[in-house]
């Protein structure tokens, strides 16, 4: 649905603990389901508050990736409102195609 590619920027939590700080990574996709909360209907999350692991957050929390998530969430919200659906009812594949039709470059696309 959207993708990120920023290196892991994970800071050590405890002295002497090893971290993945600076680990090079390949670009990765962020699935639409990461933006849809399980417990609240009619809401989408984008940016630093999406559902992900501590390690994943160390990469996707940067401005460029958050901006792309915001674009995807905005389009999903528009689709949901237009179709009288909850954001959770929007098909991620349909959203992906709509993003690509608007010129958004995605992995594997």
Q: What is the pLDDT of residue 28?
A: 79
Q: What is the pLDDT of residue 95?
A: 95
- The string of pLDDT tens digits covering residues 46-81 is 988 888 887 777 778 888 888 899 999 999 999 999
Tell me the backbone φ, ψ of residue 6, rounded to 5 degrees. -70, 140
Q: What is the pLDDT of residue 43?
A: 95
**pTM across the whole model:** 0.77
Contact criterion met (CB below 8 Å) for 4 and 61? no
Q: How confident is the model at residue 19 (pLDDT cuts 50, 70, 90)?
A: low
């Amino acid at each position: 649905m959207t993708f990120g590619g920023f290196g892991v920027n994970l800071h050590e939590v405890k002295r002497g603990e090893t971290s993945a700080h600076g680990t090079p990574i390949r670009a990765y996709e962020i699935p639409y389901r990461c933006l849809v909360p399980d417990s609240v209907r009619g809401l989408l999350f984008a940016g630093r508050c999406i559902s992900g692991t501590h390690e994943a957050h160390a990469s996707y929390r940067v401005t460029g990736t958050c901006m792309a998530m915001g674009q995807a969430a905005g389009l999903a919200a528009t689709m949901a409102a237009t179709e009288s659906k909850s954001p959770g009812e929007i098909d991620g594949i349909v959203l992906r195609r709509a993003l690509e039709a608007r010129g958004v470059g995605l992995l594997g696309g």
